[in-house]
Copies of this chain bind each other. A is one copy, B any other.
Amino acid sequence: MGSPGARRILLPVTRNIRIRVAYDGSRFFGWQRQDGFESVQQSLEEALESLTGDAVTVRGSGRTDTGVHALAQVANFHIDTHLDDNRLWHALNAHLVEGVVVRDLETCTPEFHAQRSAVGKRYAYMMELGRFRSPFSAGRATFVRGDLDVDLMRAGARHLVGEHDFTSLASAGSPRATNVRRIFGVHLIPRRAGLGIVVGGNGFLYNMVRTLAGTLIQVGRGQVEPDAVAEILAAKDRKFAGPTAPAEGLYLVSVKYPDGWRG
Protein backbone atom coordinates (compact mmCIF):
# COMPACT_ATOMS: atom_id res chain seq x y z
CA MET A 1 0.00 0.00 0.00
CA GLY A 2 1.38 3.41 -1.00
CA SER A 3 1.05 6.40 1.34
CA PRO A 4 -2.01 8.53 0.62
CA GLY A 5 0.06 11.29 -0.91
CA ALA A 6 2.02 9.05 -3.33
CA ARG A 7 1.03 9.34 -6.98
CA ARG A 8 1.02 6.09 -8.92
CA ILE A 9 2.62 6.71 -12.26
CA LEU A 10 2.76 3.93 -14.86
CA LEU A 11 6.22 4.48 -16.24
CA PRO A 12 7.27 2.36 -19.17
CA VAL A 13 9.81 -0.13 -17.91
CA THR A 14 12.33 -1.74 -20.18
CA ARG A 15 11.54 -5.43 -20.27
CA ASN A 16 13.56 -8.28 -21.68
CA ILE A 17 11.21 -10.33 -23.89
CA ARG A 18 11.87 -13.80 -25.22
CA ILE A 19 10.00 -15.27 -28.13
CA ARG A 20 9.72 -18.56 -29.98
CA VAL A 21 9.52 -17.96 -33.71
CA ALA A 22 8.56 -20.29 -36.56
CA TYR A 23 9.46 -19.35 -40.11
CA ASP A 24 9.45 -20.70 -43.62
CA GLY A 25 13.09 -20.24 -44.60
CA SER A 26 12.29 -20.38 -48.31
CA ARG A 27 10.78 -16.89 -47.99
CA PHE A 28 13.80 -15.20 -46.39
CA PHE A 29 17.47 -14.52 -46.96
CA GLY A 30 18.27 -16.24 -43.70
CA TRP A 31 17.87 -15.07 -40.12
CA GLN A 32 20.45 -12.31 -39.96
CA ARG A 33 19.76 -8.76 -41.03
CA GLN A 34 21.60 -7.64 -44.17
CA ASP A 35 20.85 -4.52 -46.13
CA GLY A 36 18.73 -5.05 -49.20
CA PHE A 37 17.73 -8.65 -48.43
CA GLU A 38 14.66 -9.56 -46.44
CA SER A 39 15.67 -11.50 -43.34
CA VAL A 40 13.67 -12.91 -40.44
CA GLN A 41 15.47 -10.65 -37.96
CA GLN A 42 14.62 -7.58 -40.03
CA SER A 43 10.97 -8.54 -40.36
CA LEU A 44 10.72 -8.88 -36.56
CA GLU A 45 12.56 -5.63 -35.93
CA GLU A 46 10.40 -3.74 -38.42
CA ALA A 47 7.22 -5.13 -36.87
CA LEU A 48 8.39 -4.03 -33.41
CA GLU A 49 9.42 -0.61 -34.66
CA SER A 50 6.04 -0.06 -36.31
CA LEU A 51 4.42 -1.08 -33.00
CA THR A 52 6.51 1.04 -30.63
CA GLY A 53 8.06 3.74 -32.77
CA ASP A 54 11.47 2.76 -31.42
CA ALA A 55 14.28 0.90 -33.07
CA VAL A 56 14.56 -2.52 -31.43
CA THR A 57 17.32 -5.08 -31.88
CA VAL A 58 16.18 -8.70 -31.92
CA ARG A 59 18.87 -11.25 -31.04
CA GLY A 60 18.44 -14.86 -32.15
CA SER A 61 19.90 -18.02 -30.62
CA GLY A 62 22.01 -18.19 -33.76
CA ARG A 63 21.83 -17.56 -37.49
CA THR A 64 20.06 -19.73 -39.98
CA ASP A 65 20.96 -19.60 -43.66
CA THR A 66 18.69 -18.79 -46.60
CA GLY A 67 16.20 -21.62 -47.05
CA VAL A 68 16.62 -23.07 -43.55
CA HIS A 69 13.36 -23.25 -41.61
CA ALA A 70 12.60 -22.89 -37.92
CA LEU A 71 9.87 -24.54 -35.91
CA ALA A 72 11.15 -22.73 -32.82
CA GLN A 73 13.96 -20.28 -33.16
CA VAL A 74 14.43 -18.35 -29.91
CA ALA A 75 15.18 -14.64 -29.76
CA ASN A 76 15.09 -11.84 -27.21
CA PHE A 77 14.81 -8.08 -27.29
CA HIS A 78 14.47 -5.16 -24.88
CA ILE A 79 11.40 -3.01 -25.21
CA ASP A 80 9.55 -0.19 -23.42
CA THR A 81 5.82 -0.71 -23.74
CA HIS A 82 2.64 -0.57 -21.69
CA LEU A 83 1.34 -3.62 -23.55
CA ASP A 84 1.27 -6.76 -21.42
CA ASP A 85 2.84 -9.92 -22.83
CA ASN A 86 -0.37 -11.27 -24.33
CA ARG A 87 -1.25 -8.03 -26.11
CA LEU A 88 2.30 -7.52 -27.29
CA TRP A 89 2.28 -11.07 -28.69
CA HIS A 90 -0.89 -10.53 -30.71
CA ALA A 91 0.15 -7.07 -31.87
CA LEU A 92 3.54 -8.33 -32.99
CA ASN A 93 2.00 -11.16 -35.01
CA ALA A 94 -0.48 -8.72 -36.56
CA HIS A 95 2.45 -6.61 -37.81
CA LEU A 96 4.56 -9.47 -39.15
CA VAL A 97 4.93 -10.38 -42.82
CA GLU A 98 3.77 -13.75 -44.13
CA GLY A 99 6.07 -16.68 -43.49
CA VAL A 100 7.06 -15.85 -39.92
CA VAL A 101 4.98 -16.36 -36.78
CA VAL A 102 5.74 -15.69 -33.11
CA ARG A 103 4.55 -18.85 -31.36
CA ASP A 104 5.09 -17.62 -27.78
CA LEU A 105 6.17 -14.43 -26.08
CA GLU A 106 7.03 -13.74 -22.44
CA THR A 107 8.91 -11.30 -20.26
CA CYS A 108 12.01 -13.02 -18.93
CA THR A 109 14.85 -12.20 -16.54
CA PRO A 110 17.09 -9.30 -17.57
CA GLU A 111 20.01 -11.72 -17.87
CA PHE A 112 18.42 -13.96 -20.51
CA HIS A 113 20.35 -13.85 -23.78
CA ALA A 114 18.97 -16.02 -26.60
CA GLN A 115 22.41 -16.90 -27.93
CA ARG A 116 24.72 -16.90 -24.91
CA SER A 117 22.24 -18.58 -22.55
CA ALA A 118 21.51 -21.48 -24.93
CA VAL A 119 22.81 -24.87 -23.79
CA GLY A 120 21.53 -27.03 -26.63
CA LYS A 121 19.79 -27.11 -29.98
CA ARG A 122 17.87 -29.63 -31.94
CA TYR A 123 17.67 -29.78 -35.72
CA ALA A 124 15.71 -31.98 -38.10
CA TYR A 125 16.77 -32.75 -41.63
CA MET A 126 13.75 -33.84 -43.70
CA MET A 127 14.03 -35.86 -46.90
CA GLU A 128 11.50 -37.04 -49.42
CA LEU A 129 12.38 -40.39 -50.99
CA GLY A 130 11.02 -41.76 -54.22
CA ARG A 131 11.26 -41.73 -57.98
CA PHE A 132 9.59 -38.38 -58.53
CA ARG A 133 9.40 -35.36 -56.36
CA SER A 134 5.95 -34.75 -54.89
CA PRO A 135 4.41 -31.38 -55.77
CA PHE A 136 4.07 -30.66 -52.06
CA SER A 137 7.65 -31.00 -50.85
CA ALA A 138 9.42 -28.22 -52.76
CA GLY A 139 11.19 -25.93 -50.29
CA ARG A 140 10.06 -28.10 -47.36
CA ALA A 141 12.13 -31.25 -47.72
CA THR A 142 15.10 -32.39 -49.77
CA PHE A 143 14.29 -34.83 -52.54
CA VAL A 144 16.52 -37.92 -52.54
CA ARG A 145 15.99 -40.25 -55.47
CA GLY A 146 15.65 -43.92 -54.62
CA ASP A 147 15.75 -45.71 -51.30
CA LEU A 148 18.04 -45.30 -48.33
CA ASP A 149 19.01 -48.14 -46.01
CA VAL A 150 17.96 -46.77 -42.63
CA ASP A 151 19.76 -49.50 -40.67
CA LEU A 152 23.06 -48.57 -42.30
CA MET A 153 22.38 -44.90 -41.55
CA ARG A 154 21.65 -45.70 -37.89
CA ALA A 155 24.88 -47.65 -37.65
CA GLY A 156 26.78 -44.73 -39.14
CA ALA A 157 25.02 -42.17 -36.94
CA ARG A 158 26.14 -43.94 -33.74
CA HIS A 159 29.70 -42.75 -34.38
CA LEU A 160 28.54 -39.14 -34.22
CA VAL A 161 27.04 -39.31 -30.72
CA GLY A 162 29.18 -37.95 -27.89
CA GLU A 163 31.93 -35.38 -27.69
CA HIS A 164 33.99 -35.10 -30.85
CA ASP A 165 35.97 -32.65 -32.90
CA PHE A 166 33.58 -32.02 -35.80
CA THR A 167 35.99 -30.20 -38.09
CA SER A 168 35.29 -32.77 -40.83
CA LEU A 169 31.60 -31.81 -40.90
CA ALA A 170 32.07 -28.03 -40.81
CA SER A 171 32.23 -25.66 -43.73
CA ALA A 172 34.75 -22.89 -43.38
CA GLY A 173 32.87 -20.26 -41.38
CA SER A 174 33.60 -17.87 -38.57
CA PRO A 175 36.65 -19.13 -36.71
CA ARG A 176 35.82 -20.79 -33.38
CA ALA A 177 38.00 -21.39 -30.34
CA THR A 178 37.28 -25.08 -30.68
CA ASN A 179 35.49 -27.41 -33.08
CA VAL A 180 34.66 -29.84 -30.28
CA ARG A 181 30.92 -30.27 -29.73
CA ARG A 182 28.75 -32.78 -27.90
CA ILE A 183 26.02 -34.55 -29.88
CA PHE A 184 23.32 -35.82 -27.51
CA GLY A 185 21.67 -38.07 -30.08
CA VAL A 186 20.99 -38.72 -33.76
CA HIS A 187 17.63 -40.31 -34.54
CA LEU A 188 16.41 -41.58 -37.90
CA ILE A 189 12.65 -41.27 -38.23
CA PRO A 190 11.04 -42.99 -41.23
CA ARG A 191 7.97 -41.23 -42.63
CA ARG A 192 5.59 -42.14 -45.39
CA ALA A 193 7.68 -41.53 -48.53
CA GLY A 194 10.30 -39.78 -46.46
CA LEU A 195 12.93 -39.85 -43.76
CA GLY A 196 13.94 -37.40 -41.05
CA ILE A 197 17.25 -37.10 -39.24
CA VAL A 198 16.86 -35.46 -35.82
CA VAL A 199 20.07 -34.28 -34.18
CA GLY A 200 20.46 -32.73 -30.74
CA GLY A 201 23.68 -31.23 -29.44
CA ASN A 202 25.24 -28.53 -27.28
CA GLY A 203 26.29 -26.59 -30.34
CA PHE A 204 26.79 -26.91 -34.08
CA LEU A 205 29.47 -25.69 -36.45
CA TYR A 206 28.67 -23.93 -39.71
CA ASN A 207 26.77 -26.28 -42.08
CA MET A 208 27.41 -29.17 -39.68
CA VAL A 209 23.88 -30.65 -39.78
CA ARG A 210 23.71 -30.37 -43.56
CA THR A 211 27.09 -32.09 -43.96
CA LEU A 212 26.08 -34.73 -41.43
CA ALA A 213 22.94 -35.32 -43.55
CA GLY A 214 24.95 -35.48 -46.78
CA THR A 215 27.30 -38.00 -45.19
CA LEU A 216 24.50 -40.20 -43.82
CA ILE A 217 22.78 -40.14 -47.25
CA GLN A 218 25.98 -41.62 -48.69
CA VAL A 219 25.93 -44.27 -45.96
CA GLY A 220 22.26 -45.02 -46.68
CA ARG A 221 23.05 -45.50 -50.35
CA GLY A 222 25.84 -47.92 -49.55
CA GLN A 223 28.49 -45.56 -50.92
CA VAL A 224 30.18 -45.17 -47.54
CA GLU A 225 30.54 -47.85 -44.85
CA PRO A 226 28.84 -47.01 -41.54
CA ASP A 227 32.12 -47.45 -39.65
CA ALA A 228 33.85 -45.04 -42.03
CA VAL A 229 31.97 -42.24 -40.22
CA ALA A 230 34.36 -42.65 -37.28
CA GLU A 231 37.32 -42.33 -39.65
CA ILE A 232 35.80 -39.25 -41.29
CA LEU A 233 35.59 -37.56 -37.88
CA ALA A 234 39.10 -38.66 -36.92
CA ALA A 235 40.53 -37.12 -40.11
CA LYS A 236 39.45 -33.60 -39.00
CA ASP A 237 39.29 -32.59 -42.63
CA ARG A 238 36.12 -31.49 -44.44
CA LYS A 239 37.10 -33.23 -47.67
CA PHE A 240 36.47 -36.71 -46.21
CA ALA A 241 32.81 -36.09 -45.41
CA GLY A 242 29.85 -36.20 -47.80
CA PRO A 243 28.38 -33.23 -49.64
CA THR A 244 26.54 -30.43 -47.86
CA ALA A 245 22.84 -31.34 -48.22
CA PRO A 246 20.51 -28.56 -49.48
CA ALA A 247 19.12 -25.98 -47.03
CA GLU A 248 15.45 -26.66 -47.90
CA GLY A 249 15.39 -29.85 -45.77
CA LEU A 250 16.79 -28.28 -42.60
CA TYR A 251 14.65 -27.19 -39.64
CA LEU A 252 15.75 -25.64 -36.35
CA VAL A 253 13.40 -27.58 -34.06
CA SER A 254 14.14 -26.20 -30.59
CA VAL A 255 16.68 -24.38 -28.42
CA LYS A 256 17.30 -25.43 -24.83
CA TYR A 257 18.09 -23.18 -21.86
CA PRO A 258 19.46 -23.97 -18.38
CA ASP A 259 16.23 -22.99 -16.62
CA GLY A 260 14.53 -25.86 -18.40
CA TRP A 261 12.71 -23.53 -20.74
CA ARG A 262 12.83 -24.86 -24.24
CA GLY A 263 12.34 -22.64 -27.21
Q: Smallest distance from the beta carbon of A37 to chain B beta carbons, Å?
A: 18
Chain B residues with Cβ below 8 Å from A102 are: 132
Q: Is the CB of A69 within 8 A of B136?
A: yes
Q: Decide if A45 is an interface residue (CB 8 Å cutoff).
A: no
Q: On chain A, which size bracket covers the interface?
A: 10 to 19
In the complex, 9 of the A-B residue pairs with CB atoms within 8 angstroms, ordered by the A residue number, are A22-B134, A22-B135, A23-B135, A24-B135, A24-B136, A93-B132, A99-B135, A101-B133, A136-B140
Q: Decide if A252 is an interface residue (CB 8 Å cutoff).
A: no
How far, in angstroms, from A134 to B140 measured CA to CA in the complex? Answer: 13
Chain B residues with Cβ below 8 Å from A101 are: 132-135
Q: Which residue of B lies closest to A133 (CB)?
A: B101
Q: Decide if A98 is an interface residue (CB 8 Å cutoff).
A: yes
Residues 77-108 of chain A, each 1 if its beta carbon lies under 8 Å from chain B, else 0: 00000000000000001000011111100000
List 17 additional A-B contacts (Cβ < 8 Å) besides A22-B135, A98-B135, A136-B140.
A22-B134, A22-B136, A23-B135, A24-B135, A24-B136, A27-B135, A69-B136, A93-B132, A98-B138, A99-B135, A100-B135, A101-B132, A101-B133, A101-B134, A101-B135, A102-B132, A103-B132
Q: Smallest distance from the beta carbon of A40 to chain B beta carbons, Å?
A: 10
How far, in angstroms, from A140 to B101 measured CA to CA in the complex? Answer: 17
Name the residue in A100, A132, A135, A136 with the highest tally of chain B Cβ atoms < 10 Å from its Cβ: A135
Chain B residues with Cβ below 8 Å from A132 are: 93, 101-103
Chain A, 9-51, CB within 8 A of any chain B CB: 22-24, 27
Q: Which residue of B lies closest to A140 (CB)?
A: B136
How far, in angstroms, from A26 to B54 measured CA to CA in the complex? Answer: 38
Q: Smallest distance from the beta carbon of A27 to chain B beta carbons, Å?
A: 8
Chain A, 132-181, CB within 8 A of any chain B CB: 132-136, 138, 140
How far, in angstroms, from A136 to B103 measured CA to CA in the complex? Answer: 13
Q: Smallest distance from the beta carbon of A121 to chain B beta carbons, Å?
A: 19
How far, in angstroms, from A66 to B99 measured CA to CA in the complex? Answer: 22
How far, in angstroms, from A136 to B70 measured CA to CA in the complex? Answer: 10
Q: Which residue of B lies closest to A139 (CB)?
A: B136
How far, in angstroms, from A140 to B141 measured CA to CA in the complex? Answer: 15
How far, in angstroms, from A100 to B135 measured CA to CA in the complex? Answer: 6
Chain B residues with Cβ below 8 Å from A69 are: 136
Chain B residues with Cβ below 8 Å from A93 are: 132
Q: Smallest distance from the beta carbon of A141 to chain B beta carbons, Å?
A: 11
Q: Which residue of B lies closest to A25 (CB)?
A: B135
